[in-house]
Amino acid sequence: MSNSDPLLSEFLTKEELAGELRRNVRTLDRWHSLGIGPPRTRIGRTVLYRRASVQKWLVAQEQTCRLSRSETCQQIQ
């Protein structure tokens, strides 16, 4: 971040992130209460999400394969 960048340029508001993910703001709140959403920061009443943390969370959501109860990843490959 250079000296001319705004201090919060690395962050998204709840509304901005909901728009990016094409989800409702209430979904982000529900994910947070369930402990399954991206990490967030509060400044007063404002909820902010660091872009890098959201990207890391998205990568962690990737699934390499879908399994039925009797299959393993090795059987599918």
pTM assigned to the model: 0.75
Q: Which letter, b or e, does each residue of 22-61 get, where b requires 16 or more Cβ atoms within 10 Å of its Cβ?
A: eeeeeebeebeeeeebbebeeeeeebbbbeebbeebeeee
* Structural domain count, the chain: 1
Is 15 within the bounds of a domain? yes
Would you say residue 6 lies in a domain? Answer: no
25, part of any domain:
yes
Q: Which residue has the higher pLDDT, 74 or 19?
A: 19
Give a yes or no: residue 72 inside a domain: no
Q: Tell me the per-residue pLDDT of 30-42, one tens digit each, with 9 for 90 and over.
A: 999 999 999 999 9
67 within a domain of the structure (yes/no): no
Q: Is residue 49 part of a domain?
A: yes
Residue-wise pLDDT for 49-76, tens only, equals 999 999 999 999 887 666 665 555 554 4
| pLDDT computed for residue 5 by the predictor | 79
Predicted pLDDT of residue 76: 42
**Residue 22 is part of which domain span?**
11-61
Instruction: Note whether residue 19 is domain-resident.
Output: yes
